[in-house]
Amino acid sequence: MRVGLVRSATNCLLAALMRVLWTGFCLSTAANTTALAQQGGALTPGEVPPQVRAQGEASPPTVVLHPAKTAVVRLTVLLPLQSDSLGRAAAAVRAGILAAHEAERSEVAVTIIETGDTPEEVLAVYTKALATTDIMLGPLSRSVVAALAQSDAVHVPTIALAQPEFGQTLARSPLLLTMGLAVEEEARQAADWMAADKTGGKLLAVATSIHWQRRAAQAFSAEAQRLGRDTEVIELGSAGGYLEAAALMQFRKQLQEMKPAALFVSLDAVQTRQLRAVIGEDLPIYGTSQLNPQALAEHNNARAEAMPELNGVRLLDLPWQLSPDHPAVMAYPQMAAAAKQTRNADLERLYALGIDAFRVARLVAAQRKQFELDGVTGKLVIGFNPAGTHFERMETRAIYRDGKAVPLDASGK
């Protein structure tokens, strides 16, 4: 079913679409930098998230957003909105795209098409949509992005919302740009940061058997070794999301023997608090955005839990999660949330991805081939070249102070 939604000054489409924020995690296939697969979900499988549902109706497979001015560019967005594994992620990205479209009031007509989540389903929709689009935004999952890159279907500029698996090399198409949030990229940036801090001696990367943690630890180790650092990955036992006590005691003994210069923790905040309680605060610790489980909007909330056990721990995260006074962060509305619901930090990051993806699409629509963007997901460098596209994101460096993650200034303080 195709539904045309026409904006007016008195009837704001965005407010209707973003009225309610759902909570909970359910991704069993990590599309981005999340650890969502390790959590329980608040929605029943197949339930349609509220902001992808018109009042009293089922979620439409296609939604058309007309711009305030005459459209000169047609942007098609492909998202698995009803997927059991990726539906919540897709809806968060969609909400960010809508927020950016509303704020920009650009000459871009946006069509959002609901897809399945298998490569075959998405490629079929992608191919059909080529006839009526100038720029494509999507897919959202790693496996589908890989399948699209290996096909010969990419004939218009396409901004994919996921990165390939660690170690996987995609065909260098001059039209396919991958800009998803990737925990591996955060790990590589942490390795560069540690090298810049001139932390001499051996580096340890600590993870559990959880898939995203292994990926991040491997990415960190590869980058640190490329920089000439002696690095070792240590995997700790875990159960139910917590580190096992015996594993922690054994790790403390290993630290006494190895005497490493610093740790990269490919862990979440709960696990890192456990680790800190056992090994103390002497060793410098670096980590990813998974050390920051609170949305920025929750920092001043009385219900927000301070985590003083993490004071001094360094991490990377998005400006959307750290910098309320960042010009781009200030320019866009916060993701809608029910009054008594705690915001989900991973979904907030995906919402921010939607905002930046639309902004990049706008610049591509303006025939920009090489450009930089100070985005809500970081400082972005984009290039469309005959030999292939280039994408780079530099996230914000942060540190825990008084139990909260706060950005470091340019001097690293």
Nearest-angstrom CA–CA distance, 79 and 113:
6
Q: What is the pLDDT of residues 276-298, one digit of tens each?
A: 999 999 999 999 999 999 998 88
Nearest-angstrom CA–CA distance, 212 and 398:
21
**CATH number of this structure's domain 2-181+327-393, picked from the four choices 3.40.605.10, 3.90.850.10, 3.10.620.30, 3.40.50.2300:** 3.40.50.2300
3-state helix, strand, coil in the chain (%, to 5): 35, 20, 45
Q: What CA–CA distances, in Å, run from 227 to 44, 193, 398? A: 46, 11, 22
Question: Which superfamily does CATH assign the domain made up of 184-317 to?
Answer: Response regulator (3.40.50.2300)
DSSP string, 333-369: PPPP--TTPPP-HHHHHHHHHHHHHHHHHHHHHTT-S
Order of strands, sheet of 176-178, starting from the edge strand that comes earlier in the sequence: 2-5, 62-65, 108-114, 73-79, 135-137, 158-160, 176-178
Domain assignments of the chain as residue spans, ordered by start:
2-181+327-393, 184-317
Instruction: Write the single-letter amino acid at 38.
Output: Q
pTM of this prediction exceeds 0.85: no
Per-residue pLDDT band for 68 (boundaries 50, 70, 90) equals low
- Other C-beta atoms closer than 10 Å to the C-beta of 168 total 11
Contact (CB, 8 A) for 267 and 238 = no
Equal fold, 2-181+327-393 vs 184-317:
yes
Lowest mean pLDDT among 47-51, 64-68, 206-210, 275-279: 47-51
Per-residue pLDDT band for 299 (boundaries 50, 70, 90) equals confident
pLDDT of amino acid 304: 73
* pLDDT at 57 exceeding the cut of 70: no
* pLDDT at 344 exceeding the cut of 60: yes
87, containing H or E segment: helix 87-104
